[in-house]
């Protein structure tokens, strides 16, 4: 699936910048109870990327269906649509150098407007919406831009502390061009007071890092009389220039 066909860009083959693991949440965040038994206790093995990490699968636009990026309609019965606050989520996928990353597969999932997931393990009493599935996907364009349409998810309670509630959020899964850029994260909404109380969010130590996951209301992109808009940019690991990589000499 050649994603860059038609592009004039040379494929980049340099190693990725080191991950700042003080910026990401650490593995063990005891306030988020599930992390206690699921966090490695031994040090990670560090090494500069080999081709196994530098290379990665790239997905072509041909795999996308007509309604993949429209969660209001991709599960709805003909002529119907999901209930809730209609929003557009849009933004850009960049790398740490500020360069737009084209051909990035984004997959997203979320609860419905009442905070209920369409999943057999979610027993929350808020009802399912018969016209809402909760999954979508798209692929970034030449400059890294993406957009999708959905309803704003509701907050929901979860069995962590006795009275913990997740802020409204949308889960994002992101593929870059190298498998070492693989990332899953969550998008939050500007002004939600639950953000600062959430043990999953608070696993992130730096306030600026939490703000980097908080989408901003974008009234310029709003469609009047139709849908509000939120802007959410995603940043992937940057990479070194491949011109001076020692890999080229050894062979």
Q: Where in 87-146 is the site for another protein (CB under 8 A)?
A: 94-98, 107-110, 117-122, 133-137
| CB of 12 or CB of 192, closer to another protein | 12
- 212 interacts with another protein by CB under 8 A: yes
Min dist CB 26 to another protein, Å, is 7
Min dist CB 214 to another protein, Å, is 11
Binding piece for another protein, criterion CB under 8 A, among 80-88, 143-151, 206-214, 217-225: 206-214
Q: Pick from 68, 69, 72: which is nearest to 85 by CA?
A: 72
Residue 62 · residue 103 · CB < 8 Å = no
Catalytic residue check, 169: yes
Catalytic site residue from 137, 169, 177, 239: 169
Catalytic residue check, 230: no
Query: In the range 46-85, which residues lie near another protein by CB under 8 A?
Result: 46-58, 63, 65, 67-68, 74-75
Catalytic residue check, 156: yes
Residue 42 · residue 119 · CB < 8 Å = no
Half-sphere exposure of 17 (CA within 13 A, CB side): 11
CA dist., res. 234 & res. 245, Å (int): 27
3-state secondary structure 156-188: EEECCCCCEEECCEEEEEECCCCHHHCEEEEEE
Binding letters toward another protein, positions 145-164, x by CB under 8 A: --------------------
Min dist CB 140 to another protein, Å, is 14
Helix (H, G, I), strand (E, B) or coil at 139: strand
CA dist., res. 75 & res. 129, Å (int): 10
Among 124, 145, 165, 179, binds another protein (CB under 8 A): 179
| CB of 120 or CB of 219, closer to another protein | 120
Helix (H, G, I), strand (E, B) or coil at 113: coil
Helix (H, G, I), strand (E, B) or coil at 121: coil
Catalytic site residue from 116, 166, 177, 239: 166
Catalytic residue check, 171: yes
Catalytic residues: 117, 156, 166, 169, 171
């Amino acid at each position: 699936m050649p994603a860059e066909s038609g592009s004039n860009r040379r494929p980049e083959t340099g190693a990725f910048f080191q991950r700042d693991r003080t910026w990401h949440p650490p593995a063990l965040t005891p306030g988020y109870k599930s992390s206690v038994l699921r966090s490695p206790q031994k040090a990670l093995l560090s090494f500069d990327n080999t081709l196994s990490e530098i290379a990665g699968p790239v997905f072509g636009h041909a795999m996308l269906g007509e309604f993949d990026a429209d969660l209001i309609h991709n599960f709805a019965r003909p002529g119907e649509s999901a209930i809730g606050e209609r929003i557009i989520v849009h933004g850009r996928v960049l790398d740490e150098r500020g360069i737009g990353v084209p051909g990035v597969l984004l997959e997203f999932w979320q609860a419905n407007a009442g905070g209920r997931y369409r999943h057999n393990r979610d027993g929350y009493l808020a009802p399912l919406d018969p016209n809402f599935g909760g999954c979508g996907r798209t692929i970034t364009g030449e400059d890294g831009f993406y957009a999708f349409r959905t309803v704003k998810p509701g907050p929901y309670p979860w069995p962590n502390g006795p009275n913990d509630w997740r802020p409204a959020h949308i889960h994002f899964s992101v593929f870059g061009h190298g498998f070492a850029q693989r990332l899953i994260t969550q998008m939050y909404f500007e002004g939600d007071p639950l953000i600062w109380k959430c043990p999953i969010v608070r696993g992130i130590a730096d306030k600026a890092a939490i703000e980097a996951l908080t989408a901003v209301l974008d009234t310029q992109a709003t469609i009047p009389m139709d849908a509000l808009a939120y802007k959410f940019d995603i940043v992937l690991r940057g990479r070194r220039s491949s011109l001076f990589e020692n890999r080229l000499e050894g062979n």
